[in-house]
Structure 1
Amino acid sequence: MAGNLDIDTTRRNKRPRPLSESEKEKLDEFIDAIHYSARYSDDEYEYRHVQLPKQMLKVIPKEYFDQTRAGILKLLWEDEWRALGITQSLGWEHYEVHEPEPHILLFKRPMNYQPPMN
C-alpha cells in the first residue's frame, strides 16, 4: 500500500472485504459505464475522480457503506475498488466520496508515483 496520504483509515473496513461470485456478477453489468476523469494535480498529488453509474450503488454490498452516513460509501481499500470494476494504474488511493453525489469517488496518489520494485 502507498505511504500515508492523509487518508482517514477509520472510514475504511478494518480489512478489505472480498466480493462473492454472485456479488461480482451483479456488478459486472455496470463496469463499462464507469467514467474516469482526466487527471489533475497540485504540487504534491495527482488526482482523478471516478463516477460510478448511480444504479450500481444499489448492488454494492452494504458492508462497503458507512453506516453512520446514509448512502455514502466507506473509503475503499484498493482490493475493494478493483473488485467493483474500477481499473487504474498502481498507486491510487480512494481518499474521499463526493457526498452531494455519492457515486463519485475521489482518488489521489503522490506526484511522480513509482511502483515499488519487487
Structure 2
Amino acid sequence: MSIANMDIDVTRRNKRARPLSESEKEKLDEYVDAIHYSARYSDSEFEYRHVQLPKQMLKAIPKEYFDGSRGTLKLLWEEEWRALGITQSLGWEHYEVHEPEPHILLFKRPINYQPPVH
C-alpha cells in the first residue's frame, strides 16, 4: 500500500529524510528509555498507535524536523523517527501530530501488514 493510499500529507514532511549527526543522536539518547508506546487500536482498514515523547526531548530535536507554521514536528520519514529512538515493527507511517500535545506522534499501518519480501 502506498503512502497516498494511507492519506498521508507528504507536503508536511521534509523533501527527503534529514539524517541526524552523531552529536544530535547523543543529545537524544538520554530520552529514549522514556518514550511511551500506546497499545494498538484499529478500525476496519488500519491499526494505530501513538508514541509519546518526553516533553523535554522536543528541545533536543533539530529545528529542521519542525513545522514553523504549526509549531509542531513535521510528519517524519521512517528514517527520521527511528533516528529519534522510536522503535516499532515495520510498516508504521507517522501520519499526524496531536497539536494540543505536540510530543504525541500518531502512527498507522494497514491491518495485517506484511513487510515486503526481498
Instruction: Please state which band the TM-score falls in when normalised by the shorter chain.
Output: over 0.9
4+ long deviations beyond 2 Å: none
What pairs with 1:48-63 in structure 2 (closer than 5 Å)? 48-63=49-64
* Counterpart residue number, 1:89: 89
Runs of 5+ in structure 2 lacking a partner?
A: none
Give the Cα separation in 2 of the matches to 1:3 and 1:32.
31
Give the Cα separation in 1 of the matches to 2:109 and 2:44.
12
* Counterpart residue number, 1:15: 16
Residue 43 (structure 1) shift: 0.1
- Calculate the aligned-residue CA RMSD, in Å: 0.6
What pairs with 1:90-109 in structure 2 (closer than 5 Å)? 90-109=90-109
Residue 68 (structure 1) shift: 1.0
Runs of 5+ in structure 1 lacking a partner?
A: none
Residue 69 (structure 1) shift: 1.2
Which letter maps to 1:67? G
Which letter maps to 1:74? K
Give the Cα separation in 2 of the matches to 1:8 and 1:99.
15
Residue 78 (1) aligns with residue 107 (2) = no
Give the Cα separation in 2 of the matches to 1:32 and 1:48.
18
* Counterpart residue number, 1:29: 30
Give the Cα separation in 2 of the matches to 1:117 and 1:86.
23
- The 3-state SS of whatever aligns with 2:95 is strand
- The 3-state SS of whatever aligns with 1:16 is coil
